[in-house]
């Protein structure tokens, strides 16, 4: 029998209650602030015009929490030179792109 791959579903129970609440707050704030979305072959990049220390901190905190409940997602933070904004990179193997589209980008359309 072929071995099945890992389950591609976020497990919010991996976070304490206050972590779940904070991840939801951060997700909503970041999605509201997205200026551009780049589709990648295996995921997406979310672009933010503001490259402030506060925004960096919010994205870093989002990554720190999200990686616990969604360990199958590759997270990255990219700073463009000369204050041209920052990017949250979300990608992965297999069907990860569909999970990102549904869970993260789905929030942008609600």
- Residue 11 phi/psi, 5° resolution? -115, 90
Kindly report the pTM of this predicted structure: 0.86
pLDDT given at position 84: 84
In CATH, 14-108 is 3.30.1360: yes
- End-to-end Cα distance, the chain: 41
Low-confidence residues in the chain, pLDDT < 70: 1-6, 105-110
Q: Say if residue 6 is exposed, middle or buried (CB neighbours under 10 Å; 0-12, 13-18, 19+).
A: exposed
Q: Which of 38, 109, 25, 33 is nearest to 65 (CA)?
A: 25
Residues 60, 18, 37, 39, CA torsion sign: positive
């Amino acid at each position: 029998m072929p071995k099945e791959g890992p389950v591609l579903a976020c497990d919010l129970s991996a976070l304490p209650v206050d972590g779940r609440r904070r991840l939801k707050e951060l997700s909503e704030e970041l999605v509201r602030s997205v200026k551009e979305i780049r589709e990648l072959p295996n995921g997406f990049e979310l672009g933010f015009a503001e490259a402030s220390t506060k925004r960096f901190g919010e994205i870093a905190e989002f990554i720190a929490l999200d990686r616990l409940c969604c360990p199958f997602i590759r997270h990255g933070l990219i700073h463009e030179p000369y204050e041209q904004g920052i990017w949250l990179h979300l990608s992965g193997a297999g069907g990860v792109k569909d999970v990102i589209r549904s869970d993260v980008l789905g929030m942008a359309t609600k």
